[in-house]
Amino acid sequence: MFWVTCYGFRNAWNPYHETRITLNMKIYTRTGDNGTTGLIGGSRVKKYDIRLEAYGTVDELNSYIGVVRSMQTDPESDRILEKTQNKLFVIGAHLASDSSIKLVKQQMPIVESDITLLELAMDKMNEVLPELRNFILPGGCQATSFCHVARTVCRRAERLIVEMSEKVEVDPNLIKYINRLSDYLFVLSRKITIDQKSAEILWFSEDQE
């Protein structure tokens, strides 16, 4: 119901060039008490369906990125993260749409410029980062730690979306974007460590200790 409700809000601004849809905004509906949930389009599936696993994990990722935004201090990174959160919201709605919503499926949630934005941001951050000579353990300052959590949730989202793509059609750029986003979050974690004057925690094998 959550994604259906949000989609109804987005139609108020007509992003998919469809007729405005008015939906009941009541938070609890009791329709999911039997272990099913409604997709955008009206069909119902079990709550463990791969589609729900996929867009639910995207929602989880979006939440962790919100935590990172509340802790990191760089304005340019905040701009990109905010844009990313908006993209993830649309991606979630796209994944939550059944095959009856054809116009939604025709409107690709990700274009090449979205992927390029992340790549250019990584290139820019890498210019000021020390050369990476060791594996890095998640940790350091709190913002860096949450960035690593977001990165690993992003990887899980990617795995689930790839699995979903074997059963229903998924835009290839969407998968590419999620893949690139996990890379971006790794580089951002290093940049946040520098910005907050923390130290990277390097991994060493036992014989190096």
Cα distance between residue 71 and residue 142, in whole Å: 8
Residue with tokens 């094998």: 205
| pTM, 2 dp | 0.81
Cα distance between residue 108 and residue 98, in whole Å: 15
**Is residue 76 domain-resident?**
yes
SS3 128: coil
Would you state the pLDDT for residue 13? 30
Q: What is the pLDDT of residues 84-130, one digit of tens each?
A: 999 999 999 888 877 666 655 556 789 999 999 999 999 999 999 99
Would you state the pLDDT for residue 201? 86
Would you state the pLDDT for residue 49? 76
Domain interval for residue 173? 49-202
* Strands annotated E in the chain: 36-38, 44-46, 136-137, 201-202
Q: What is the pLDDT of residues 36-71, one digit of tens each?
A: 665 666 567 656 678 889 989 999 999 999 999 999
Q: How many CB atoms lie within 10 A of CB 177?
A: 25
DSSP-derived pairing of the beta strands 36-38 and 44-46: antiparallel
**Is residue 38 domain-resident?**
no
**Is residue 179 domain-resident?**
yes
Q: 188 with 77: CB under 8 angstroms?
A: yes
Q: What is the pLDDT of residues 152-194, one digit of tens each?
A: 999 999 999 999 999 988 999 999 999 999 999 999 999 999 9
**Is residue 98 domain-resident?**
yes
Mean pLDDT of the chain: 81
> Which CATH number goes with the domain that contains 139?
1.20.1200.10
Q: How many domains does the chain have?
A: 1
**Is residue 22 domain-resident?**
no
